Structure 1
Amino acid sequence: MAQEKEIHFTGYEKQISNWTDLIPAERFTLLVLQTLTEVSKDPRGTYITNDRLSNIIGLSPTRISSTITKLKKKGYITVQRVGATGRYIKTRDYNHATYTRTIEEQVTGVIRYINKLLYDNPSNIDDLEEIDDTYRDAFMNAIKAYEGSDNLINLIKNSPDTFNDIDGVNEWLENKGFL
């Protein structure tokens, strides 16, 4: 019996597992687009129609169009229009050292960071409230105002008394006009 060869996609697996804000069809479409962008010799990306992409992925051209729009809004791809119906699609360079996270990934990271601070504060043990999805828009605005989640997290690190309980977080967001 022939031994099955194990295939490792460690680079892709890590990157795909970080696409938590994408549904399976968006993930697969993005993976196909990324592969096409990598093999394209054109620096503008891959030139592909909805019909061709539909044949590759197995979704209707209308669904492909909707998926492309969602990927663009979430920051995973850029679309450059050419002529009346043409377009180039380029994905972010996930293998580049300066990986750029989407705004949604940044918001999730900030929320996780603040929740860890809240959990680590012994005075919160009896009545712990955590930052949840109702704060997404507020933190999205804060990230934009501080030009990225790294800058916002640095501010949070330097203001431990402000972010050690839910009341402090709420007060800060309200005072800054984010909530």
Structure 2
Amino acid sequence: MSYISFYDDGELRAYLFEQELNFLQASLFMLLQSIDKYAQQNGNHAGVKISNSKLAKELGVTQRSITTHLSKLQELGFIKISFDRSNSTNTKRYIKPVKLVKFGIESQISGIIGYINKLLNSTLDNLDELDNTDLETRNKIKQAIFHFGSDTALINYINSHHDEFTNYENVQDWLSDFSTP
């Protein structure tokens, strides 16, 4: 699977805002992600073990605010919180930020072609499929992704017009709408 990670903080922050996180939630997630990355580099893969008071001090907010925003991040699936209760006198909380990745356009194109080919192959009398190495086909799929705004929106379109994508000629006709001039 080909993907690229969010390399710069500005790109990650923009993504988090697109997911409707507020400034503090985005900052908290990014702080947890940085601490987790450091911990992993030093052999700790369990997650971040840090108190709400330390997080609050780092971000200049109250502990209550940290509690509220940790709950929201967990609810939205950005972090996972677990507890180690193996020692009855000392419960440890671990916060694990989920790994966020975004798929590059080439990976998206390959995924769409594979998805369409799966639909084409579901019809027994259909012998043809899209060539994943054909630059013209890849360019048309790329234009279709841009037209629909995302690979997810394109998949949703394909799913709602399923019958059009079980015949190779129909797929070719549909792709001709996305030829570059």
| TM-score, length-scaled by structure 1 | 0.50
Question: Greater relative contact order (Cα 8 A, min sep 6): structure 1 or 2?
Answer: 2
Q: Which has the larger radius of gyration?
A: 2
TM-score by length of 2: 0.49
